[in-house]
Amino acid sequence: MAEAQAVDADPQSFLNGLLDSVDRALPAAISGGVLTVERSRSLGDRLAGRPGEITEVRLVGASETMVLGYKPGPRWTAEIARVSGGVIISRRTLALGEWLTAFAGRIAAIAADAAGDAAASSRALQALGIQPAAADIHVGEATIENDLRALGARLDQRVPAEAAAAVRRIGELLVDTLTRVVGSGESEIIVRRTATAYLPDTLRAYLSLPADWAAGHVFPDGTTPAQALIVQLSALESAAGRMRDSAVEQDASALLVNGRFLSDRFATSSLDLS
């Protein structure tokens, strides 16, 4: 309720902030090609060189167009139009919050397609200031072992069976490794970061994608979002296995090397979102 009141209190700031976030989430050439903005310019705006007030934001896709309209009052119009052959065949009206959630999912899909990497969806949502979907896909510091063991079950029917099986194996590897590195400083930090950030973030990046897009889309390299997820999980599983072996052999330097690999590949905070 507080968020809705803030949106209504200053709609133009909200809309400008939304557009700024899209520019951060997507390369300018891409956002400029799929996102259009209509404005109303008064005589004063024209004389002062101001862009005017935003009246409509339109995100154009291959089979649907998302439209968010605003009129002073405030009055919001949020809809998704299904398009075939350039002709609108149906319209669906949504509440503002529902539209924004769907809008974020589509932006995430565009970002993933542009990068050829489903993990880019998570970075796009981060730039939009929106938490990725699937809040239940979480591994907490205080409940790390139980959460890792429960993660695979939470994913049933939501990701391909091969991916869910990989998550179960990764969870067991991390639990085993963690018991061997407790109190070892940086080695323990790396294992915990893998469990609480890299693994769940990778899963949420996939789950944040619109279900229809994730099910039928093909990246430029011929892979699907599901295949991209499995590749990411395979890399995580290999690194987790090497970390477990390093912990068994008490080889801290080898474990740190794998930690740097994981950081380079999976730490979204190190990526430039500008």
In the structure, what pLDDT confidence band is assigned to residue 269 with cuts at 50, 70 and 90?
A: very low
58 and 152 housed in the same domain: no
One domain, residues 107 and 36: yes
Q: How far from chain centre, in Å, is Cα 162?
A: 21
Same domain (yes/no): 171, 57: no
Do residue 152 and residue 84 come from a single domain? no
On whether both 96 and 172 belong to a single domain, the answer is: no
Q: Is the residue at 138 inside a domain?
A: no
Pair (260, 149) in one structural domain: yes
pLDDT digits (tens, 9 = 90+) for 1-29: 334 445 667 888 888 888 888 887 776 65
Q: What is the pLDDT of residue 3?
A: 44
Residue 189: per-residue pLDDT: 87
Pair 112, 201 in one domain: no
DSSP calls for 198-261: IHHHHHHHHHTS-HHHHHH---TTS--HHHHHHHHHHHHHHHHHHHHHHHHTT-HHHHHHHHHH
> Reduced to 3 states, what is the DSSP secondary structure of residue 91?
strand
Measure CA 225 to chain center: 13
Give the containing element (helix H, strand E) for 53.
strand 53-60
Write out the residue range of the structural domain in which residue 91 sits. Answer: 2-116
Asked if pLDDT for residue 130 goes beyond 70, the answer is no
Domain count, the chain: 2
- Quote the CA–CA distance of 273 and 255 in Å, as a whole number: 29
The answer to whether position 129 is within a domain reads no
Please tell me whether residues 91 and 150 are part of one structural domain.
no
